[in-house]
Structure 1
Amino acid sequence: MKFSYVNPTVIEFGQRQIASVTNHIAKHHKVLVIYGGGSIKRNGVYDQVEQALQEHQWTEFAGVEPNPTVETLDKAVALVKEQQLDYILAVGGGSVIDGAKYVAAAACYDGDGWDILEHKHTITEAIPLGAVLTLPATGSESNSGSVVTKRATKAKLAFLSPYVQPKFAVMDPDVMKTLPDRQLINGIVDAWVHVCEQYLTHTSKAYVQDGYAEALLKSLKSLAQDFDKRDSDDWRANLMWTANQALNGLIGSGVAQDWATHAIGHELTALYGVDHARSLAIIQPSLLRNQMATKQAKLEQMGIEVFGLEHSADLAERTVAAIEAFYHSLEVATSLTQYNGTREQAIDDVVQQLELHGMKALGESQAITLNHSRQILENAIA
């Protein structure tokens, strides 16, 4: 192992912590509060943020979509520049926080902000930002990643930059009380695949990373099994914290990482509007079977340590079947049934988008070619 690890985001975790926002943003800042469709005004979160910012000068930008689009976010960029705002507070789930990261970086750039996603512009500065998390899933509240969609071209791309790492994040499990079941389920699935992308690669001697990844997977498995207890404080708190730990950089430090499931899944979301988490559940089992030869040892380890399976010649395959059963227990599909045109055309469309976006060599060993991606899609699309 050889790595550098730092996570500078201050976490304020627990009930009634939104009030702590006032302690993290200096009074001289002109703040932009970014949020989504307006649910924070119905569930009381907006009122708590307003109270925390009562001594600040602030304005707001609403309407950030699930899978945020550059077309919407550029309006927020223009607002920041026009009013010379110098701090951003994202109030929402991963999409809102990802969108706020784009705004923070693009507002410090004179060119087309989409250049950031196409890696034509290297971020050297960004407006500081904080987050009030309302939907646990992505871990975006304490990492440096962002995923943004361009509606015009159906491109969904990602960028990483330490400059957009949130300075602080408020994580109050009470905000989850009004979330629909579908979003809670998506949070479990998204966090599950985040762990797998950093764990289901090749064997290593990283005992801490492996053991912590397995603990997170077992936590998510327990949350799925206890889904009928989702209205309890303990259930909400454990999902919120597990989803955060799944992608705060720790379990991926010094080990191989995959992310091919995400790369292919992003195209399903961009082309067909599939929920992000559900696109991952569609792709992952097929990808694991396609890459069984290189992932067998880690799948066997997962089968034993996470699912409690006995060792056997077909243990790796039984582990993939257990992963599918995990998704099915949450009524999450593992094949794509809604798409445009014929099945063959759908496969071609996704492969063409992967090629267009330079996704020609994916996985921890860059061994998943476009031909492999086609094979994965052939098994994932009904």
Structure 2
Amino acid sequence: MLNFQFFNPTHVVFGKGMIAQLKNLLPANTKILMTYGGGSIKKNGVYEQVKEALKGFEVVEFSGIEPNPEYETCLKAVEIVNTQNIGFILAVGGGSVLDASKFISVAAGYDGDKWEIMQKLLPLPQKVPVGAVMTLPATGSEMNCNLVISRRETKEKFGGGIPSVFPKFSIIDPSVTFSLPMRQTVNGIVDTFVHVMEQYATYDVDSPLQDRWALSIIQTLIEEAPKVLENPNDYNVRANLFWCATTGLNFMIAPGVVQDWATHALGHELTALYGLDHGQSLAVILPRLWKVLFNEKKQKLAKMARIVWNVTGTDDEAAEKCIALSEDFFRSIGMKTKLSEYNVDASEAAEILKQRFAERGVNPGETGKLTPEAIYKIVSES
């Protein structure tokens, strides 16, 4: 196991009816910027619950944050923070709303080119703190310091961690996810699956506890996903999926292990270029990346196949089966796994991504072996 430091200060409030606790979590006499997306919170009852809990607070609302939050939109909220004496940002929605709010919280205090914050992941302090009322299980942003922001002008999408932006608190009521479109639910399941794999499917450093935690999340996803397709209003299923998403990226499975994040790096480019949902881009890339980097990945993939699916055989056979079964799982919940199914020319996409990573001089992945040529091979076969 590698050396590590672990830090997670987020206060999680989980369960039915917990949005009412909001009034006890916010600092008194503070002007609140309430951020949200396209208005779904006004259809599922969350908006009314939040507004009821915010009685007595001065609240400024900022809506319209996109599913892939855009830099240009965030800058409008930065202006509000800096001109209206905002003391706290309350993100109400999914990970995109929270990611945008995290960015806003640091960008408001930065006088330089604010896009540099994402390009360089500048370790800036927050100008104002952030809390969240979550409505979508996917990103794990509710209990980490990560954020992902897109820029329409340059068709770029950057993500990573800034230590100061952990939410002060996150309220999670799984019952508010009953009304989620199944497309969003499935995207979230895939996102959680790949988050776990970015931390697990690397090379072995003798960390059996972290491996077991990681694979228990995968087993739970595989068990619960068919249930949510059959009955979207099953509270316990929704609760299990939400806690999988949270624990999949709250750093509990990360200490002392090697991490990858290449699937996310390539997926972000596909989303920025072609508008694929985040989960869609990940389901396309992950199986192909595993095949191209088979020798580097096979030990952990074979272990996963044996524990999760009771596969037998040699390491090579078990690892191959793991790749196939993972892709089968994605397809079983309605997720496409080929770029051609989204009318994207894989060769064209591969050439663009190869060029972008070559220009940046960055080889993503845990071993640094994901060269521009390897990236081309992965994407062209996706």
Q: 1:351 aligns with which of 350, 354, 373?
A: 354
* Alpha-carbon distance in 1 for matches of 2:193, 2:272: 21
Aligned residue among 233, 237, 253 for 1:235: 237
Q: CA deviation at 1:352?
A: 2.4
* CA displacement at 1:121 relative to structure 2: 4.4
| Structure 2 SS opposite 1:60 | strand
Aligned positions of 1:68-147 closer than 5 A: 68-119=69-120, 121-147=122-148
**Aligned twin of 1:316:** 319
Superposition TM-score, scaled by structure 2 size? 0.96
Q: How far apart are residue 86 of structure 1 and its match? A: 1.2
CA contact (8 A) 1:36 1:65 kept: yes
Q: 263, 272, 275: which one pairs with 2:274?
A: 272
Alignment of 1:31 onto 2:47: no
In structure 1, what is the Cα distance between the partners aligned to 2:217 and 2:361?
29
- SS of the equivalent of 2:116 reads helix
Distance of 1:377 and 1:73 partners within structure 2: 30
State the alpha-carbon separation in 1 of the partners of residues 361 and 312 from structure 2: 37
Gaps of at least 5 residues in structure 1 are none
The 3-state SS of whatever aligns with 1:258 is coil
1:128, 1:167 within 8 Å by CA — same for their partners in 2? Answer: yes
| Equivalent position to 2:373, from 349, 368, 371 | 371
2: distance between equivalents of 1:46 and 1:224? 27
Contact 1:18 1:132 in 2 (8 A): yes
Name the CA distance, whole Å, in 2 between partners of 1:285 and 1:344.
17
CA contact (8 A) 1:347 1:378 kept: yes
Counterpart of 2:248 (choices 230, 235, 246) is 246
Distance in 2 of aligned mates of 1:114 and 1:30? 26
CA displacement at 1:225 relative to structure 2: 3.0
Aligned ranges 1:197-236 → 2 under 5 Å = 197-226=198-227, 227-236=229-238
For residues 343 and 304 of structure 1, what CA distance do their matches in structure 2 show? Answer: 32
Larger displacement relative to structure 2 (370-379 or 123-132) = 123-132
Q: Is the Cα contact below 8 Å between 1:268 and 1:274 reproduced in 2?
A: yes
1:160 aligns with 2:161: yes
Structure 1 CA distance for aligned equivalents of residues 12 and 379 of structure 2: 39
Q: Summarize deviations over 1:58-117 as a string: whole Å, max 9, x none.
A: 111000001100011100000111101010000010110000000001011122321201
Q: 1:305 to 1:343 in 2, by over 3 A?
A: closer
Cα RMSD, aligned residues only: 1.3
Question: Which of 298, 301, 304 is the aligned partner of 1:299?
Answer: 301
Q: Is the 8 A contact 2:350 2:377 kept in 1?
A: no
Cα deviation 1:320-362 (Å, max 9, x = unaligned):
001110011012111102356x543232122223334x26311
In 2 relative to 1, CA 157–166 (structure 1 residues): closer, same or farther, beyond 3 Å?
A: same
Counterparts of 1:51 and 1:296, CA distance in 2: 52
In structure 2, do the counterparts of structure 1 residues 307 and 359 end up closer, same or farther at CA, with 3 Å as the change threshold?
A: farther
Tell whether the 8 Å contact from 2:347 to 2:379 is kept in structure 1 after alignment: no
What residue identity is the alignment partner of 1:272?
Y
Counterpart in the other structure of 1:50: 51
3-state SS, counterpart of residue 136 of structure 1: coil
User: Which stretches of structure 1, 4 residues or more, deviate above 4 A after TM superposition?
Assistant: none
SS in 2 for 1:306: helix
**What displacement does 1:20 show?**
0.9
TM-score of the pair, normalised by structure 1: 0.96
Distance in 1 of aligned mates of 2:39 and 2:55: 20
Please tell me whether the aligned partners of residues 324 and 334 of structure 1 are also in contact (alpha carbons under 8 angstroms). yes
- 1:148 — aligned with what? 149
Tell me how many residue pairs correspond in the alignment: 378
Q: Give 1:120 shift.
A: 7.6
**Matched residues in 2 for 1:354 and 1:180: separation?**
34
Paired residues of 1:265 and 1:279 also in contact (CA < 8 A): yes
Q: Which residue of 2 aligns with 1:289?
A: 291
Task: Please say if 1:173 is aligned against 2:174.
Answer: yes
> For the residues of structure 2 that align with 1:354 and 1:151, how far apart are their CA atoms?
19
How far the C-alpha of 1:118 sits from its partner, in A, is: 1.6
One-letter code aligned to 2:240: N
Pair 1:325–1:112, CA change in 2 (3 A) = same
Checking the alignment, whether the CA contact within 8 Å between 1:264 and 1:354 is kept in structure 2 is no
| Inter-partner Cα distance in structure 2 for 1:343 and 1:90 | 36
Q: Tell me the percent identity.
A: 43
Contact 1:138–1:191 under 8 Å retained in 2: yes
Question: Aligned-pair distance for 1:6?
Answer: 1.8
**1:120/1:263 Cα in 2 relative to 1: closer, same or farther (>3 Å)?**
closer
Q: Which amino acid aligns with 1:92?
A: G
- SS for the counterpart of 1:118 is helix
